[in-house]
Amino acid sequence: MITASTSVFGGLILAFIFSLLYKNKKTRIPAEIDRVRTGGFLAHIRAFGCRLGTRVDDIRNGYNKFNKNGKPFVIQDSTFIPQVVIPPQYLGWLKEQPEKALSAETVRLEQLGLRYLVPSSDPEMVHLLTDVVCRYLTRNFQRVQERLYEELHMSTDEIMGLEATEWRQICLHEAMETILRRMISCVLIGLPWCRDEECLKSWTGFLHCMAIAGTILGAVTPWFLRPLLGLLLKPPVGYMRRRSLRYLTPIFTERWKKIEKHEKSSLTTRELPDDFVTWCIQEVRNGAAEVTMLDLLSADPTIGYWEKLVEEATTAFRTDEDWIHAGTVSKLAYTDSAIRESLRRNPFSIRNVTREVIGKDGLTLPSGTRLPQGTWITTALANIHHDARFYSNPTEYQPFRFVARDAFHTEGKEGSEKVLQPSEAILTSTIDERLLTFGYGRRACPGRWFASHILKMLIAYITINYDIQPLTGPPKKVKFADFTVPSPSIKIIVRRKNLAYLRQRER
């Protein structure tokens, strides 16, 4: 029989063991680096016990007190991993560090839980898939553009409806996820699999399972408990993985046979499927739509942001021929700016650009402080995005702040309208030290061009073809640990624009 005293004694033993693990961990951050909280091991214990929400406050306080003065600081959280938050001034230095000194890969394996959930994950394969995205996907938009438009057209009409006489209520999260899933799948696995609901459910189910398990392991669980918890979470993840492979393995096998045939010169390049799986084998692999739509729909409708996007989209896409030409998407400067602004205001995580010091001799910061091997370096993503030094009125929603300064103005403000050239806009896919949503440096997200491309297509298609009622208040959000996402239960009310309007647009 377990008594209260036994429970207390057991808890003390566990605390003692954890303390030993903490003290014996080889990484000891130098004392000269400022701390937001003091208390060492006990500070981590407080972070682990019902105080997950305080890490947002801790990082904000540390950023305002230390980072704004050009100084790094230490953040203590439930993972027990020593982390140093560097100021924006250090990003140029971080970008120049070689992979043998600072590793993004070891962090990825821990943050996503891959080390414990999919231990066979091959770092070389990750590098290969990254290279595939950079070299092939971003250079072949035109070859997949017609397929992207076809899936966008079919899935959006199916989900949002074709009835122009009445309004209908839809779940925004489900609508955006389904449309984007089908668009991405048409490139990832090609026809007919991208329209096979069971196939799509199998691999998206695996991704969702991995995301949940990975978040629990990587964002909350102390590093020394991850192997044990990983044993408990691995079976359901493995089941979902095997379920998805029942569909994907035949696809890979078919592509492999066609590639072998192609290499023997019995198949022309035109006959070879131009999908992502093919590109991967030949090389031997965010909620952004939701937050953009929610920001636009919750903004003051009298300002005319939505109408400006409608005007831009209808000017760019007059016929189906415009839709199947990839270059047309580059004309959507206002749409691109709206996406970028929503990514600035609604970062998925409060931290990003995280690296681990892997050199045996450690690494010296620009300040001269030497960090030992095993230290994590990160940035206060959300705070940089809301820093008045980088953005005027950072808390204010300005969807067109990234286009030319005088390209848009509201009533009562001076300004002049002009034709905006794509080269004048700061694009969503652009990486700089003020917007870190897609990462920074050599390990920035390789798929950001593709993500930006399909997001602009989606928003343009919706603004052209649908009316949407504005939201009556700020959208609800769900927060957990480092992450903030729109509530998946948010509903919007939509109606197809009438045929007469659409025909008038095409003239």
Binding residues for heme: 445
Q: Please check whether residue 402 is in contact with residue 340, taking contact to mean a CB–CB distance below 8 angstroms.
A: yes
Report the C-alpha gap between 440 and 353 in whole angstroms.
6
Q: Which amino acid is it at 190?
A: G
Count how many residues are written for the chain: 507
Characterize 21-46 residue by residue with b for buried, 16 or more Cβ atoms within 10 angstroms of its Cβ, and e for exposed. Answer: ebeeeeeebeeebebbbeeeeebbbe
Q: Would you list the DSSP string of 98-139?
A: -TTTEESHHHHHHHT-HHHH-TT--HHHHHHHHHHHHHTGGG
Report the C-alpha gap between 116 and 404 in whole angstroms.
47
> Could you tell me which residues are annotated as the binding site?
445
Instruction: Describe the strand order of the beta sheet including 168-171 as a list of residue ranges.
Output: 168-171, 491-496, 466-468
Closest by Cα among 323, 312, 344 to 430: 344
- β-partners of residue 356 are 103, 376
Cis ω before 119 (30° cut-off from 0): no
Q: What interhelical angle do 54-65 and 41-48 show, nearest 10?
A: 130
Closest by Cα among 87, 67, 458, 116 to 296: 458
Report the C-alpha gap between 143 and 133 in whole angstroms.
14
Report the C-alpha gap between 382 and 345 in whole angstroms.
8
